[in-house]
Amino acid sequence: MLDGRRVLLIVTGGIAAYKTLELIRRLRERGARVRCVMTEAAKQFVTPLSLSALSEDKVYDALFSLTDEHEMGHIELSRDADLLVVAPATANMLAKMAHGLADDLASTVLLATDTPVLVAPAMNVRMWQHPATQDNMARLRRRGVAVVGPDSGDMACGEYGPGRMAEPAAILEAIARRLGTADGPLAGRRVLVTSGPTHEPIDPVRYIANRSSGKQGHAIAAALAALGAEVTLVTGPVTQPDPAGVRVVPVESARDMLDACRAALPVDVAVCAAAVADWRVASSAAQKLKKAPDGDSPTLTLAENPDILATLSAPGPDRPALMVGFAAETEHVIAHARDKRARKGCDWIVANDVGAAAGTFGGDANTVTLLTGDGEEGWPPLDKTEVAERLARRIAETLGPAP
């Protein structure tokens, strides 16, 4: 299933490095071409000869090797692959990746690449749970780095808990999903996701908007794609990186977003996570508005924007089988979400508190309640990536396999 696919395996210094030997063997059995980079610390656990024998290729370990740089410079090495896999990914290497450090061949390759990256963390349970590591992981996820594991279990240090590197079979499955060669539970399903704010022009330099960062919507698109769905992401202006394997359609206004959503139909499911502006200026100015000499403020007449969630939820031949909306509220969150689900005609509503104290807009965490026809589920506070993954799994369970 991986015929001809090129995997650059970066092995770092952890006891779990011995598992990479089995991973290389499995990759080669499935037709993948494997090239290895290892850190100096990795050599304390496995030898370059072992990696070379199993991969049937040269092993790279020196940033300043004149021979290696002539034959396969670190820039070429970083890009001559379909996927970069870091296994094991130690706390140190994850920190380097998160902060853009490049002090050896492995970290330099990771900084110099524009190829998708998958990491398999492995470390002591307290190192994994430390806020610094969790902050680094959240930062990497936002950049589109895929993660497999870690698992819970007994550690080499004698402790028990999360931090064990995922088993080679699980890493192999994650590689196949990342390369689009595995049939995930949403394979064959078409999905539409909206994300970010909309900008409604007042004049050529000013606009009406909101504080949405697009983090949650982009994470949902990435999570659905990871389960095998064909995803179209219609996004307002954001600074978030485009999720890997997702078709991205950038828009500005609510009317632009509705047009792009209609163009993406038909789909099996639509997740409307964008914070669409409810109003726009009825007639935006062609030139920049200037202050009046007498100090009078201009009067802005507002017009209601199209309701994207209600439009897509309306009965018709192109209505998605599952319509999911978001209710961003600052008070009476659940009551307003119940009312919104009834008014819009959607199937599910994901309710969240976006008041200033919650830190949801622009933040990395979210606390949501999922409202469906079967009841209400209050989820614990989670990273937005974890919210996205949980929602994607629920969607997959509800839709089932594609016909």
Question: Residue 141 has which token pair?
Answer: 């996820």
The DSSP line for 237-302 is S--SPPPTT-EEEE--SHHHHHHHHHHH---SEEEE--B--SEEESS--SS-----TT-PPPP--E
Active site residue 272: no
Note whether 137 and 149 are within 8 A (CB). no
Assigned CATH topology for domain 190-399: Rossmann fold (3.40.50)
Identify the active-site residue in 157, 261, 272, 346.
Answer: 157
Q: Which residues are annotated as a binding site for CTP?
A: 278, 288, 306-309, 326, 340, 344
Asked if 83 and 94 count as a contact pair (C-beta separation under 8 A), the reply is no
Distances (CA, A) of 97 to 4, 155, 403: 27, 24, 41
Same fold, 6-178 and 190-399: yes
Q: Worst-scoring range by mean pLDDT, 92-96, 175-179, 223-227?
A: 175-179
Per-residue pLDDT of 205-257, as tens digits, reads 999 998 889 999 999 998 898 888 889 999 999 988 888 678 899 999 999 99
Res. 357: pLDDT tops 60: no
* CB 12 within 8 Å of CB 93: yes
Is residue 276 scored above 60 in pLDDT?
A: yes
pLDDT at 383: 85
Contact 147, 383 (CB under 8 A): no
Q: Which CATH class is domain 6-178?
A: alpha beta
Distance (Å, whole) CA 157 – CA 358: 38
Q: Which of 7-11, 46-50, 144-148, 189-193 has the lowest mean pLDDT?
A: 144-148
Average pLDDT score over the chain: 88
Residue predicted with more confidence, 394 or 62: 394
Residue positions forming the annotated binding site: 278, 288, 306-309, 326, 340, 344
Domain residue limits, the chain: 6-178, 190-399
